[in-house]
Structure formats: structure tokens, C-alpha cells
Chain A
Amino acid sequence: MSIKSAGSSVDKGESLKDTALTLGAYDPDVIVIRHPQIGAPQLVARYTGAHIVNAGDGKHQHPTQALLDLYTISEELGRIEGLHVAIVGDVLHSRVARSNIQALALMGARVTLVGPPPLIPRGIEAMGCEVSYEIDAIRAADVVYVLRMQQERMAEGANFVPSLREYTARWGVTPERLRPGQKVMHPGPMNRGVEIDPVVADAADALIEQQVRSGLVVRMAVLYDLLTHGPAGVQSAALHEIGAA
């Protein structure tokens, strides 16, 4: 059963608590929730007995995306530990970045964040990553993970970046800024010509289609796990988010 906010009781001002109680009345085994507000999955978990899968809460976390990204990297490169991953772009607004930083650090990868200062949250090094404001820093990485520039957030006047044109000129991932053999990833949907050059997006070293295929497999695995033996034994903080019942 799928519930979208548009046209549903959510749209009519029903509180998330009431939505959770209503859904709980159907006795579901699993509720998958994507919500624009941080902490929404935790709130729903408080009012239902179902397993809750966080499919993205605001700018906080996107755990299944991180799992599918890790799965993609390990399928392509045979390992995660010891790899160097550069995450480029709007880290500030990105739940994908936060889940990936956490998951990659947990698995022993080195992570470098690259982007303009207003888009790199102050203090984020405490998560176990490095920060660079220079796009050249991506050359040292095994994997370059490009984040989506959400155009609606980047409206002129918000002043995160003076303009998308300047962003692209300074931080766009172009063929010239990569070296041969570097793998490129993107969570989609891409803004070709903004954060990623179309040549890079279509190159053989881009893993973007593999990410989509991994998404299906990994999300099936998450549901299978929850519907069979549950999340027991999952120890890591990154994975724990998924099974918070």
C-alpha cells in the first residue's frame, strides 16, 4: 500500500502521529517512510509496532541509498576498506552524503568532502572525513561520488553559491578533472552539465546504472531481512537506522 501526501489525509493536515496510528491499525510488518522532516521515522516508530525503514528523512539520512552504494562499490572494486572516496557538491542539504560518510567510514574507507564552503557543514569532520574546497582534491580518490545540486535550493539570493554557472566552472566534475580509471557515482537524478559533465556521466567508468540495479537488489534484501529474521545481529549505527522498530 502506498500513501502519498498529495490528496491523502496527510495533505489535509493530519498529523504524522495520527497517520502512524492509522497505518498501525492495519498491522503492517514493515512501514517504509520518506519524509521531508528529520526524525519522522523515529516518531512513526514510537506509535506503531511495525519495522520502520527510513527511506530518507529530510537532510538527515538515506540509509538504503548508502547500502546500495556500498554494494555497488564492493561489486565493482572488490572491497571498500582502504578505498578513498571523494564526495563532491552540496553536502549541506544531502542526506545521501551523510549516510554515505557514516557507512564508508564504518567500513574503513577514507572519505574526502569537496565543495564550496557554504555547502560543507561546519564541524562535519567529526564524522570521520576530510574536507577540501579545491576540486583538484578529487584526483586522489578511487571513487568520485557526485551529489545532486538541487536547483530549487540554489536559487540566487539564497547565496549558497553565487550562481550555478560559477559552481559548474569551479566544482563541476568534468573529464579534465578526473584521471583514467577513477569510478564515478551519482545518486540521481542528475543535472547534466551542472554538477556532472555529460561525458563523465556516460563514460565506462561511471557506475550510475549499476547503482540503480543495486538499488533493487539491496532494497529487496532489506525487506526480506525484516520480514524473515528481522534486523537482529545488525550492529552498526548506519544499519541500525533501518531496523529501528
Chain B
Amino acid sequence: MLFGKRGNDDLVIRGARVIDSAAGLDAVLDVRVDGGTVAQLGTKLETNAHRVVDGQGLVLAPAFVDPHVHLRTPGREDEETIASGTAAAAAGGYCAILAMPNTEPAVDSAAVLGSLAETAQSEAEVPVGFLAAITRNQGGAELTEMAELASAGAAGFTDDGRPVVAPGLMRRALQYGAVTGRRLALHCEEPTLSKGGQMHEGAVSAELGFEGYPSVAESVVVERDLALAAYERQPLHLLHLSARESVEALSRAQVAGVAATGEVTPHHLCLTDDAVRSLDPNVKMNPPLRAEEDRQALIAGLRDGTIAAVATDHAPHARHEKEVPFEAAPFGVTGLETAFSALYTHLVEPGLLKLETLLERMSAGPARAYGLDAPRIAVGAPANLVLLDLQATRRVAESDFRSRSANSWLLGETVKGQVRMTVAAGRVAFGS
């Protein structure tokens, strides 16, 4: 299900604080990688003539998995390509990403999926999984050939960018889950409630004069889809949750036994609608930034595990498309290269989230949500490692991005916590 370069690098990382909470591991250790596989953990390990990386003062953790990336390929290679997007992912500490199918054309046939997989196999700096569309051309009318797409390697199904509006169609798509064994990932938005909406509906939109995109436009569809998933006894994954009502609904469904997972973006965890006062098109995204109570509910949901995954919803846009008044700008911001720094700075440093929890929700959490093998630091596991410098600070600058686009909400901000090295599928994909 994952396509990209793989490696059999030899490496010893010395003296890093190794954290893998799933393995109950938090100790200063040496880690030796032989031929792309974790071979030994211990102190004063033999280097076996491998390249040695000094990890002293650094943290070594299972590398990250981003379950929500827009690679814009095919169709908008000016904004991102498989090569540039995966290079950005490697720089962000990711060892695997999942790409969304809202491309031009959409990934709605085995032919399109096959050609993407082939390109990724030779060009992707970190392995990529491709989600396929739920409906043809993401038009919301007819199902794609889901069984064939699953056989061709689709990592899941989504019409992301758009909701599945019709409940009857949604139900049919869920029923096909029993055949494909892949989950549906849902962008929950009731279009007649969000119509024309530029930002969260509340005091800030009232003051600025923007048309509102209320929380209930999301939560009403979250409730509907959870009810359908319960009825069909099928799992589902909720994309980019933004409203506290949605988190509450997800939690209730989980308690009732529905196999539902959820994800949240760094921008929804770090910012609120107050940021829109800047009128900066780089804080315009769908779903929109919401109120502080929503942000707190998202953080709490991530902390207690209701929300399993951090997802960037990395959405590159061409410069000229964002250099317009807020109202005319497209929705979406980049995130692959800033996610860890943003969350370390805004959540871990102020004590809102434990480092171990953040690392888990950026790695094993998203992997499990899609049934992928979780990256681990254990003897015999493929080397998927990220080396982090928690002390380093940097000012986020456009010139440092590997992504082809720079529509980041963090431009100019100083953040703490830097990725020093990424090993993905046994290969050093970033850093030295």
C-alpha cells in the first residue's frame, strides 16, 4: 500500500534519548541499523564500521506518519510534486504519508492510481500511500470501482476537499468497506450550512463581516456519519476535526463501540479564529480555525486518545493564488515541514501536551488508523526513525522549504524543536 524509495543503510546513532512509548522505551541508548533494519539497542555498541551519528542531547523516536497530504499530482505540479512533497515530508520527520485523491484528474480509477504508484516508487523520498476517491471525479454521485482500487493498492477512500453529501450514497460506500478492507476518510461539511463561509462563525466573523462557516456545519455530518457507521458496523476515519461538538460526538460513538478514528491538524491545535484578524490568506483553511473552546477540546481529545492522529492537511497553493484579498484566496495551508516544531512550541513547551503523547499521535496513532504497521524502535523492525533537537530554534522562512509552495501560517514565526535526521524505510531521507 506504500510506494517509494527504500534503503538498506547502515548506521549507528549514539547516545540519543530513545523514546518509543508503545515499547515502554525512554532511555539514553545507542541504536544500530544494519541494512535498513534496527539491529541492536544498547550502550557502547560496536559501530561495525557504520556511519556514526552523534545523538547526544537529541531525541530519537519512531518517525512520523502523516495521514493527510495533498501532493497536487497529477494536475498541479507547479504547486507540488511527488518528489517535492515527499522531500518536504522527510524534512518534517515523516517516514510515510498518505496522499489525497482530489487531483486533476481525481484518483478514481486503477489507471490513475497505478501511474502514481509507479512514479512514487522511483521518486518518493519517503513511502506514499494513495487514497482513492469514494465517488467518480469526486462528484458525489456514483461510487468508484472500490474493490478494484483496493486491489490496485488504494490505502483508503475519501472525497476529501468535498463531503459525501447524500446519506444514501454514504451508506453504500460504507457497505463496500466489507469488501475492500479499507476505511473511508471523511471530510464532514454540510454544504448548505457552510455555503459562502470564509471563517468560523462567531464574534470575530461578526466583527470582520465575513460570512460564517459554523461549527454545526461540521458536527451535523460527523453525527450522521457516525450513526451510519454504527448501523453498518463499519470503521471510519474523520478528517481534520475542528469543532468541540465533533470531538464529543466521536467520543460518544467510540464509547458505544463504533470503530471510528479522528485526526486534527497543527493549525487547529495552535490557532483560533482570532488569527483571521490579520486578514492573512495563510490562515484561511477548510474547516476554518475555530474558537478557543474548540481548540481546547481538540487538545483534550488528542491528549486522551479520542483523536488518534495529528494530520497536517498539507495543502500547497501557488503564490499568486494566495496573494489576493482573504475573501478571494483558496482554502489551505502547508504543514509538512513545520508540524513538529509548531506543536512542540505551542503545545509541549507550554505544558498542554506531553512530548511522548505528541510523538505517539504523530506516528503510531495515524498508522493504526489506516491499518499500517506502526513505526517502532525495536530489534528487527524496519528503520523508521526521526532524530529531534528540542533545544534548537529557527525562524520559519520561505527559503528553507522543500515544498514547492510556501503558504505556511508560520512564516516569520520563531519555533523550537528541529528535525535533524529522518530515516524512512531503512534509508536516510533527510539530514546527515
Interface residues of A (CB under 8 A from B): 15-17, 35, 37-40, 42-43, 57-61, 95, 98, 102, 121-127
Q: Tell me, in angstroms, the Cα distance from A89 to B207 when the chains sit together.
A: 16
> Do B326 and A39 have beta carbons less than 8 Å apart?
yes
Please name the residue on chain A nearest to B207 by beta carbon.
Answer: A127
CB neighbours of B324 from chain A (8 A): 15-17, 37, 43
Chain B nearest CB from A98 CB (Å) reads 6
Bin the interface of chain B by size: 20 to 34
Q: Is the CB of B206 within 8 A of A121?
A: yes
The 4 closest A-B pairs by CB, nearest first: A59-B209, A126-B203, A121-B206, A39-B279
Q: Decide if A123 touches B325 in the complex (CB within 8 Å).
A: no
B200's nearest neighbour on chain A, judged by CB, is A123
Chain B positions within 8 Å of A, measured between CB atoms, are: 198, 201-212, 214, 279, 320, 323-328
For residue B328, which residues in chain A have a CB less than 8 angstroms away from its CB?
37
Find A15's partner among B212, B320, B326 (CB 8 Å cutoff).
Answer: B320
- Whole-angstrom CA separation of A163 from B214 in the bound complex: 25
Task: Verify B327–A39 contact, CB threshold 8 A.
Answer: yes
The answer on a CB contact under 8 Å between B326 and A38 is yes
In the complex formed, the residue of B with least CB distance to A42 is B279
Residues from chain B with Cβ under 8 Å of A57 in the complex: 325
A43 vs B204: C-alpha distance when bound (angstroms)? 20
Please, which residues of chain A bring their CB within 8 A of the CB of B202?
Answer: 122-123
What is the bound-complex CA distance between A40 and B209, given in angstroms? 13
Bound-complex Cα distance A121 to B326 (A): 19
Bound CA–CA A34/B324 (angstroms):
15
Report whether A122 and B209 are in contact in the complex, using a CB–CB cutoff of 8 Å.
no
Complex CA gap A154/B175 in Å reads 43
New A-B pairs, 13, CB < 8 Å, besides A17-B323, A123-B202: A16-B324, A17-B324, A38-B326, A38-B327, A59-B210, A59-B211, A61-B209, A98-B209, A122-B212, A123-B204, A124-B206, A124-B207, A126-B203
Bound CA span A43–B327, Å: 12
Rounded to whole angstroms, the CA-CA distance of A49 and B207 in the bound complex is 28
- Contact check: which of A16, A42, A123 meets B205 at CB < 8 Å? A123
Most buried by B among A38, A43, A58, A122: A38
- Cα separation A17 to B325 with both chains bound (whole Å): 9
**A15-B320, A39-B279 known; A123 vs B206 contact (CB < 8 Å):** yes
B323 touches A15 (CB 8 A): yes
Report Cα–Cα, A59/B203, bound state, in Å.
Answer: 15
Most buried by B among A15, A37, A123: A123
- For B201, B204, B214, B327, the residue with the greatest tally of chain A CB atoms inside 10 Å of its CB is B327
A35 with B325: CB separation less than 8 A: yes
A38 to B206, CA, bound (A): 13
- Docked Cα-Cα span, A95 to B210, in Å, equals 10
Q: Are B327 and A98 in touch, CB under 8 angstroms?
A: no
Complex Cα–Cα for A122 and B211 (A) = 11
Query: Judging by beta carbons under 8 Å apart, are B209 and A124 in contact?
Result: no
| Residue of A with least CB distance to B208 | A60
Chain A residues with Cβ under 8 A from B325's Cβ? 16, 35, 37-40, 42-43, 57
Determine which of A38, A43, A122 lies in contact with B208 in the assembled complex, contact meaning CB atoms within 8 Å. Answer: A38
Contacts of B326 in A (CB 8 A): 37-39
Bound-state Cα–Cα, A38 to B208, Å: 8
Expressed in whole angstroms, the minimum distance between the Cβ of A123 and any Cβ of chain B is: 4
Residues in B neighbouring A42, C-beta threshold 8 A:
279, 325
Q: Please, which residues of chain B bring their CB within 8 A of the CB of A123?
A: 201-206
- CB neighbours (8 Å) of A16 from chain B are 324-325
Q: Which residue of A lies closest to B201 (CB)?
A: A122
Complex CA gap A95/B206 in Å reads 11
Nearest chain A CB to B281 CB, angstrom units: 8
Bound-state CA distance A57–B208 (Å) is 10
Is B207's CB under 8 angstroms from A126's CB?
A: yes
- In whole angstroms, what is the CA distance A38 to B207 when docked? 12
CB distance from A102 to the nearest CB of B (A): 8
Once the chains are docked, how many angstroms separate the CA of A122 from the CA of B273? 14
Q: Which residues of chain B come closer than 8 Å to A17, judged between CB atoms? A: 320, 323-324
With both chains docked as a complex, state the minimum distance between the C-beta of B200 and any C-beta of chain A, in angstroms.
Answer: 10
CB-nearest residue of chain A to B329: A39
A127 to B207 Cα, complex, angstroms = 7
Report if A95-B209 is in contact (Cβ < 8 Å); known contacts: A15-B320, A40-B325.
yes
Task: Report the bound CA distance from A61 to B201 in whole Å.
Answer: 18
A127 to B277, CA, bound (A): 14
A102 neighbours in B (Cβ, 8 Å): 207
CA distance A123 to B208 in the complex (A): 11
Q: How far does the Cβ of A3 sit from chain B's closest Cβ, in whole Å?
A: 17
A39–B277 CA distance with the chains assembled, in angstroms: 10
Within 8 Å CB of A37, what residues of B?
Answer: 324-328
CB distance from B304 to the nearest CB of A (A): 29
Residue of A39, A43, A61, A126 near B206 (CB, 8 A) is: A126
Between-chain CB contacts (< 8 Å), 14 pairs: A15-B324, A17-B323, A38-B327, A39-B326, A43-B323, A61-B209, A95-B209, A98-B209, A102-B207, A122-B201, A122-B212, A123-B204, A124-B206, A126-B206
A57 to chain B: closest residue by CB: B325
Closest to A125 in B: B203
Q: Tell which of A35, A38, A43, A126 touches B210, judged by Cβ atoms closer than 8 Å.
A: A38
Bound form: Cα–Cα A162–B200 in Å: 26
Q: Among the listed B198, B207, B211, B279, which residue makes an inter-chain contact with A98, where contact means beta carbons less than 8 Å apart? A: B207
Cα–Cα distance between A127 and B203 once the two chains are bound (Å): 8
Complex: how many Å from CA A35 to CA B326?
Answer: 12
On whether the beta carbons of A38 and B209 are closer than 8 Å, the reply is yes
CA gap between A123 and B199 in the complex, in Å: 13
B209 neighbours in A (Cβ, 8 Å)? 38, 58-61, 95, 98
